[in-house]
Amino acid sequence: MNILFGGSFDPVHNGHLRVATELSELFDGAQVSLIPCRDPVHKPRANIDAESRYRMLVAATEESPSLVVSRIELDAESDSYTINTLQALNSNEGLILAVGTDSALNMPTWHHAEVYKDLCNVVVLERPDYSNAQIENNLKSLGFSIVSSPDALRSAKTGLALIARVTQLQISSSDIRQRVAENKSIRYLVPDAVQGIICDNDFYQI
């Protein structure tokens, strides 16, 4: 079982790492692949280059054996569509795509959204200020069956969706970038190694 957790990670922060760690724990220590996108398709272009974001992710996860950083989207020749990543991985062990609530609500608009049910299971990271009913309806419209336990995702490789409650720290990459630009501390918001890379390279300075 391979859990896929993608994003811009611009920069990676402790909130990302907490979610990834709890995803691994939810599935008994399964590997979580953090996948930095090269150029976000549905978001504005990242503030720093993909290789630098990758380097910060590697530094952030060095002491976390269940978290690995994948270059699959950085090295791909096509755009960073999630479906391309799923098709490229095509794991016999089963793929679990972890998405936030915003992404889950927008999923019907994704590139070839109707195919996802045949490629993976989905875990939606629950947020108390969002309606689970709307998320479930969206996933059902794409052919996913909603389950209430992670055990179900261990026995079926595709077509299931779970809404999972994980700790979501109130940290955002945009806030970190703003704090750096204003010469404010980002200590305890990002790992020390990531803070060092940001400072050494003057990332996010105006």
Return per-residue pLDDT of the chain as tens, 206 residues. Answer: 899 999 999 999 999 999 999 999 999 999 999 999 987 665 566 789 999 999 999 999 999 999 999 999 999 887 778 999 999 998 778 999 999 999 999 999 999 999 999 999 999 999 888 889 999 999 999 999 999 999 999 999 999 999 999 999 999 999 999 999 999 999 999 999 999 999 999 999 97
Q: Tell me, what CATH number does 140's domain have?
A: 3.40.50.620
Q: Does residue 83 form part of some domain?
A: yes
Integer Cα distance of 197 and 194 in angstroms: 5
> Containing domain of residue 52, as a range?
2-200
| Predicted model pTM | 0.93
Q: Does residue 206 form part of some domain?
A: no
Integer Cα distance of 52 and 11 in angstroms: 9
Q: Does residue 19 form part of some domain?
A: yes
Q: Does residue 205 form part of some domain?
A: no
Q: Is the peptide bond before 65 cis (omega within 30 degrees of 0)?
A: no
Q: Does residue 26 form part of some domain?
A: yes
CB 95 within 8 A of CB 89: yes
Tokens of 119: 């490629």
Q: Residues near 1 by Cβ (< 8 Å), separated by ≥ 6?
A: 27, 30, 31, 93, 94, 96, 153, 154
How many structural domains compose the chain? 1
Q: Residues near 49 by Cβ (< 8 Å), separated by ≥ 6?
A: none
